A = this chain, B = another copy of it.
Amino acid sequence: MQSFTEENYLKVIYHLAEKTETVQTNAIAEQIQTKPASVTDMIKKLADKGLVDYIKYQGVSLTDKGRSAAIDIVRKHRLWEVFLVDKLNFKWDEVHDVAEELEHIKSVDLIERLDEFLGFPKSDPHGDPIPDKHGRFAKTQFIKLIDLKVGDSGTITGVSQHSSAFLKHLEKLGLTLGKQIQITDVTDFDGSVEILSSEKQINISREVAKHILISSNGKI
């Protein structure tokens, strides 16, 4: 059984490992909002417990045991987010902090019943996949909106940025999960993208386009 803090480290390492094979001390420190020295201490502890593989100065990676524990936390986080949005009418930009607390509640029974109560959802309010109770989940095939070409179209099925500011911005533009979009132009000057959605022309910055995930349905 891991402490609240250990769980947070495992979760952060898990997410960082999605980008780089081995995870750097500084990267963890930034995510946890702590100092690199503290991270080194905790990494040693996690290594002793067999949750991470660690070679001094070479970064860490999760062991199978560590990954499994991390996925369990991710599962809880995402299920609670669904609960907050579907049942308590939170908006998708309001759920992160509360789910961050709820994910640490320790009761296998609670999570299985919650899963059932929510109808065994496959993805959370941001389109992220929810692992099943065995830790398995479909690696969904997302394409970043920024990588589409003029004429391409698809459906918004996720975001890769969960900040409230970003999500509120999308909300205001009407770019929510499930929306159909088509690329109509890409501006040479600033790389901003012109898209057609709900019969309206919308211009989004490169930065925004990077964090919208599309399940492509090819060219129209």
Contact = CB atoms under 8 A, between A and B. Distances in A.
Contacts of A113: 88-90
Nearest to A102: B105
Interface residues of A, number: 18
B101 A105 contact: yes
A142 to B, nearest CB: 30
A150 interface: no
A106 B94 CA distance: 14
Interface string A101-130: 110011101100110010000000000000
Nearest to A101: B105
A19 interface: no
A180 to B, nearest CB: 31
A42 interface: no
A195 to B, nearest CB: 33
Contacts of A87: 117
Interface in A14-65: none
A173 interface: no
A98 B105 contact: yes
Nearest to A97: B107
A147 to B, nearest CB: 37
Contacts of A89: 113
Interface string A57-85: 00000000000000000000000000010
A88 B101 contact: no
A-B pairs, top 7 by smallest CB distance, nearest first, are A88-B113, A98-B107, A101-B105, A98-B110, A88-B117, A87-B117, A102-B105
12 contacts: A84-B110, A87-B117, A88-B113, A88-B114, A90-B113, A94-B109, A97-B107, A98-B105, A98-B109, A98-B110, A101-B107, A102-B105
